[in-house]
């Protein structure tokens, strides 16, 4: 039996996470697996309940579980809180750090049925299949931060730090990923300006000696932002630091039709965390409108990376593909000739395809 911690969080989180749980339950049925789901509050929801966005019991549950599924965290209701209690800074980032989740894998793959859903041209995005490996526990997110009063105002400081070993472990993971795919790795940095990027590039180059079978390219982040929408097919695996990875993956999601399609797996520690790459979308919360597919596809990644069940992972991905081929769409992906359905119906449709395969 596998224990799965279920952390719905805020905004659309409590709508999309149950759909992923439905799909995991269907997987259990189909592949004779046994899952125990245990829910806990996190983010603003946990602030409202307990006063803190990451209660001790939630963290304990995560540590004891075999995998974690998380919806999304944060919203305008909690934006005014001091940083020690703000959902993003005091729950999501500590959760990643405390669980040692230094690598965030974000597959950016375009389903054929969605080629015309993207605002980008068909010939540019067709056959996009990229794996972004984002460093998740270093860089600007975790460096020292402070404010100082100075004459005429304040000075705010964020610190961008990377060590050799932090770069080595994420680089190694990315080279290995490239080895199991098309053997091309793009390392994205800003080595023309940043010292941390110069170290990043040196370490990646050194590692490359061990991975001579992989074609390595270095690219500046500004150029990468342009190349991603200009010629995405050149990319196989991308490896980059935390902040660049955050920004580039939101941009890359447009290649797949919608950020509602972008799944993610945060790995590297004893227990991995699966969450959609999008946010809590408070503007559409509680309207049965959110796209649950990124969370459902994250559950697919859980089958692959935590439970080593490639067949179940592939089955979830195929079920999503079939549902899209049949023309079912949540509103943000709606196109002429398609059938608009809500969050819960989308989850049901995936379950149905999965069990009928």
Q: Which residues are catalytic?
A: 141, 190, 222, 246, 250
Query: Does residue 185 contact residue 133 with C-beta atoms inside 8 Å?
Result: no
Q: Shortest distance, CB of residue 245 to Mg ion, whole angstroms?
A: 9
Q: Shortest distance, CB of residue 327 to ligand IPM, whole angstroms?
A: 30
345 phi and psi angles, rounded to 5 deg: -65, -35
For residues 8 and 30, give the distance between their C-alpha atoms in angstroms, rounded to a whole number: 24
Instruction: Pick what 302 binds: Mg ion, ligand IPM, none; C-beta below 5 to 8 Å, kind-dependent.
Output: none
Q: Shortest distance, CB of residue 276 to ligand IPM, whole angstroms?
A: 9
Q: Shortest distance, CB of residue 281 to Mg ion, whole angstroms?
A: 12
By the rule CB under 6 A, 246 interacts with ligand IPM: yes
- Between 158 and 210, CB nearer to ligand IPM: 158
What track of x and - describes contact with ligand IPM for positions 49 through 78 (by CB under 6 A)? -------------------------x----
By the rule CB under 6 A, 189 interacts with ligand IPM: no
Q: Which residues bind Mg ion (CB under 5 A)?
A: 246
Beta bridge partners of 70: 7
For residues 26 and 41, give the distance between their C-alpha atoms in angstroms, rounded to a whole number: 24
- Between 92 and 113, CB nearer to Mg ion: 92
For residues 139 and 221, give the distance between their C-alpha atoms in angstroms, rounded to a whole number: 15
Query: Does residue 342 contact residue 289 with C-beta atoms inside 8 Å?
Result: yes
- Residue number closest to ligand IPM, CB atom: 88
Residue of 219, 277, 281, 303 interacting with ligand IPM (CB under 6 A)? 277
Query: Does residue 92 contact residue 69 with C-beta atoms inside 8 Å?
Result: no
- Between 102 and 328, CB nearer to Mg ion: 102
**Binding residues among 279-298 for ligand IPM as defined by CB under 6 A:** 279
What track of x and - describes contact with ligand IPM for positions 92 through 131 (by CB under 6 A)? x---------------------------------------
Q: Shortest distance, CB of residue 87 to ligand IPM, whole angstroms?
A: 8
Q: Write the DSSP string, 232-247.
A: GGG-SEEEE-HHHHHH
For residues 266 and 274, give the distance between their C-alpha atoms in angstroms, rounded to a whole number: 6
The H or E element containing residue 56 is helix 56-64
By the rule CB under 6 A, 88 interacts with ligand IPM: yes
Nearest of 11, 28, 1 to residue 295 by alpha carbon: 11
For residues 163 and 165, give the distance between their C-alpha atoms in angstroms, rounded to a whole number: 5
For residues 340 and 328, give the distance between their C-alpha atoms in angstroms, rounded to a whole number: 6
- Residue number closest to Mg ion, CB atom: 246
For residues 40 and 45, give the distance between their C-alpha atoms in angstroms, rounded to a whole number: 10
Query: Interface with ligand IPM by CB under 6 A: which residues?
Result: 74, 88, 92, 246, 277, 279
């Amino acid at each position: 039996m596998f224990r799965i911690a279920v952390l719905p969080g805020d905004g659309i989180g409590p709508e999309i996470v149950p759909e992923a749980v439905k799909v995991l339950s269907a997987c259990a049925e189909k592949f004779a697996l046994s899952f125990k789901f245990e829910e806990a509050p996190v983010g603003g929801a946990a602030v409202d309940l307990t006063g803190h966005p990451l209660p001790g019991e939630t963290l304990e549950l995560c540590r004891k579980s075999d995998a974690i599924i998380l919806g999304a965290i944060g919203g305008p209701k909690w934006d005014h809180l001091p940083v020690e209690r703000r959902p993003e800074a005091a729950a999501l980032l500590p959760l990643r750090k405390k669980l040692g989740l230094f690598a965030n894998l974000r597959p950016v793959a375009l389903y054929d049925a969605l080629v015309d859903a993207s605002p980008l041209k068909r010939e540019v995005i067709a056959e996009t299949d990229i794996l972004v490996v984002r460093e998740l526990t270093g860089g600007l997110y975790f460096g020292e931060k402070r404010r100082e009063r100075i004459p005429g105002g304040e000075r705010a400081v964020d610190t961008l730090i990377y060590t050799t070993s932090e770069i080595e472990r994420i680089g190694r993971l990315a080279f290995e990923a490239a080895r199991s795919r098309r053997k091309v790795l793009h390392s994205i940095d800003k080595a023309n300006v940043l010292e941390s990027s110069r170290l990043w590039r040196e370490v990646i180059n050194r590692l490359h000696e061990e991975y001579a079978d992989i074609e390595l390219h270095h690219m500046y982040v500004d150029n990468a932002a342009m190349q991603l929408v200009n010629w995405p097919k050149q990319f196989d695996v991308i490896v980059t630091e935390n902040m660049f990875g955050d920004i580039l993956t939101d941009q890359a999601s447009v290649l797949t039709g919608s950020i509602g399609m972008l799944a993610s797996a945060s790995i590297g520690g004893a227990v991995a965390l699966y969450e959609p790459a999008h946010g809590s979308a408070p503007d559409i919360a509680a309207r049965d409108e959110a796209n649950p597919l990124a969370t459902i596809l994250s559950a697919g990644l859980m089958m692959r990376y935590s439970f080593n069940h490639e067949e179940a992972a592939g089955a979830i991905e195929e079920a999503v593909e079939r549902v899209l081929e049949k023309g079912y769409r949540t509103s943000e992906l709606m196109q002429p000739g398609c059938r608009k359905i809500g969050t819960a119906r989308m989850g049901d449709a995936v379950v149905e395809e999965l069990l009928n395969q």
